[in-house]
Amino acid sequence: MELDNQVALVTGGTAGIGLETARGLAAAGAEVVITGRDVERGKQAVDTIDTIGSGRVRFVQADLSDLASVAALAEQAGPVDVLVNNAGSFPAAPTVEQDVPGFEMVFNTNVRGPYFLVAMLVPHMLEQGRGAIVNVTTLATLKGYPGASVYSASKSALASLTRTWAVEFAPHVRVNSVAPGSTRTEGVLVEWGEGVEELGRAMPLGRTGRAREIAEAVVFLASPRASYVTGSTIHVDGGGTAV
């Protein structure tokens, strides 16, 4: 299989897009490490991916907004061949009502956490001359959504890092992004409620995405099938970028 003998780390791999990505990477032969803050959810996710109990999927508890936790994660998960920066925080607030702790939490989770996780894990990839990093960003890096100012700005930073890292870590480590549109996941329903369906209806394909549909693009970019792709973004948004 195309990811045989490779270790993949998926942050936020216990739910939604991350869980489906972890499932896809495991199916492609990778040994998979998933993370999240909730230990119980982590254990359940491992069981749903590794249905035969092979032990090739493991959970490491980590909070991406906390630098000490990011360092502990790099220690416990590494070395890895594939890193998917998927864990994200997306609370909505109008700019005039945004508080400072909320602003910092979003940037610490969506930018600072992945930044230092990459800094800790990429030396091994560079040393072995092989690696793939996939950052999960959003359609909101390109479109204005009221209430999504901090979230969109944080994911735009991650989109920018994708390009810098692609150049900085070339030629052996590839770095790409997947930018989902409105995708029906547990997390998005908690934060945005059924309003997410309205956003989906406004897309040319007329519906929200499914986590599995986003994961397909992530697994492709992580795989050798994408061997000539770096610094790019795959938009999986039902046509959202086209309108």
Ligand X SMILES: NC(=O)c1ccc[n+]([C@@H]2O[C@H](COP(=O)([O-])OP(=O)(O)OC[C@H]3O[C@@H](n4cnc5c(N)ncnc54)[C@H](OP(=O)(O)O)[C@@H]3O)[C@@H](O)[C@H]2O)c1
Contact positions vs ligand X (CB under 6 A): 11-12, 14-18, 35-38, 41, 62-65, 86-90, 109, 136, 138, 180, 182-183, 185-188, 211
Least separation, in Å, of the C-beta of 147 and ligand X?
14
- In the bound state with ligand X, the residue whose beta carbon lies nearer, of 12 and 131, is 12
Question: In the complex, which residue's CB is closest to ligand X?
Answer: 187
- In the bound state with ligand X, the residue whose beta carbon lies nearer, of 224 and 239, is 239
Catalytic residue of the set 115, 145, 151, 228 = 151
Contacts by residues 161-168 (CB-CB < 8 Å, ≥ 24 positions apart): 161/111, 161/114, 161/115, 161/118, 161/135, 162/135, 162/137, 162/231, 162/233, 163/231, 165/118, 165/122, 165/133, 166/230, 166/231, 166/232, 167/231
Least separation, in Å, of the C-beta of 126 and ligand X?
25
- In the bound state with ligand X, the residue whose beta carbon lies nearer, of 88 and 131, is 88
Least separation, in Å, of the C-beta of 160 and ligand X?
16
- Phi, psi values for residue 34, rounded to 5°: -115, 150
Round to whole Å and give the CA distance between 202 and 205.
Answer: 8
Residue with tokens 């390109």: 142
Examine the residue annotation and report whether 145 is marked as an active-site residue of this protein: no
Least separation, in Å, of the C-beta of 112 and ligand X?
11
144 burial via Cβ count (<10 Å: 0-12, 13-18, 19+): exposed
- In the bound state with ligand X, the residue whose beta carbon lies nearer, of 109 and 149, is 109
Round to whole Å and give the CA distance between 86 and 112.
Answer: 13
Q: Which residues are catalytic?
A: 151
